[in-house]
Structure 1
Amino acid sequence: MAEVLFYHLTESTLEDALPGLLERSLQRGWKVVVQTGSDERRDAIDSHLWTYRDDSFLAHGPEHEPHAEDQPIVLTTGQDNANGAEIRFMVDGATPPDLMSYQRAVFLFDGHDAMQLEAARSHWKVMKSAGHEVTYWQQTPDRRWERKA
């Protein structure tokens, strides 16, 4: 069973929070897949990961470009795991594939978006009933993560 984490964004945007979580995943030696809800969001994240910080970038590539299997981070709108990732991030209410082959899955959702909140609640129920170890984390006012459940 995968460890499934729900990250409730209340103080920052996805663009603010995602790079740090991706960096920590890579530090663990994990390959990563980020699944978005649309091609437009995937492309926006693609651009952002090259420029999110002046002194750094995160090596990555979209699943439709050559050599996706060699990327440490693959961005996708589909349910494939082109790079054999150990961790999968779902953003913008993306519906996950079967998570049994992953060590960890992370749902990141915007607490100010009613559709994302409803999707997260639905995914929580599905993940719990599938027997995954599920935890819920919410941002504190200083943008740190606090476990709530």
Structure 2
Amino acid sequence: MTEILFYHLQGMSLESVLPPLLEKSLERGWRVVVQSTSPERTEALDAHLWTYSDDSFLPHATWRAGDAQDQPIILSIEDGNPNRANVRFLIDNAALPADCDSYERVVLVFNGDDDDALTAARGAWADCKARGFELTYWQADERGRWQRRQ
């Protein structure tokens, strides 16, 4: 059964939160697709992942890469699973993929300071609950550590 995780960003940027989540995914031996909603966002994220830390490296490529199937992390704006990922991250209000149940995890990261993002996340929560997925909701505490909320 696919686990759907909702990560509620509040007072935090995706750029600060996503790299550590991707690192943890790779540590577990998972392959990842990160889906956004625009080529511009994907290109900006691609550039950020190369430079976000001097002492870390996240091997990745965009969906346009000729060797996408060999990459541990793919940044995409499209449905599909070019690298046979175990985990799919949805950012920028990207819609749930039709093949949600083919992943071990789907991680929906949403901006709690954006009304449209909150509305989209609530809709996705209701949809996933109706489809019988296991849902968890995460929010950072005052020290920036992720806490599972009820």
TM-score, normalized by the shorter chain, greater than 0.5: yes
**CA-to-aligned-CA distance 1:10-59 (integer Å, 9 cap, x gap):** 13100000000000000000000000011111111100000000122211
Report how many aligned residue pairs link the two structures. 149
> 3-state DSSP class of the match of 2:102?
coil
RMSD value over aligned CA atoms? 0.8
User: Whole-Å Cα distance in 1 between the matches of residues 31 and 87 of structure 2?
Assistant: 7
Q: Is the 8 A contact 1:79 1:96 kept in 2?
A: no
Matched position secondary structure for 2:124: helix
Unaligned runs of 5+ in 1: none
Q: TM-score, normalised by structure 1?
A: 0.97
Q: Please state how far the C-alpha of 1:146 moved relative to its aligned partner.
A: 1.2
Given that residues 23 and 58 in structure 1 are in contact (C-alpha distance below 8 angstroms), is that contact kept between their aligned partners in structure 2? yes
- Equivalent pair of 1:11/1:143 in contact (CA under 8 Å): no
Measured in 1, the distance between the counterparts of 2:21 and 2:62 equals 18
Between the aligned partners of 2:45 and 2:21, the Cα distance in structure 1 is 14
Structure 2: which 5+ residue stretches go unaligned? none
**SS at 1:54 equivalent:** coil
CA offset at residue 147 of structure 1? 1.2
Give the partner amino acid of 2:91: V
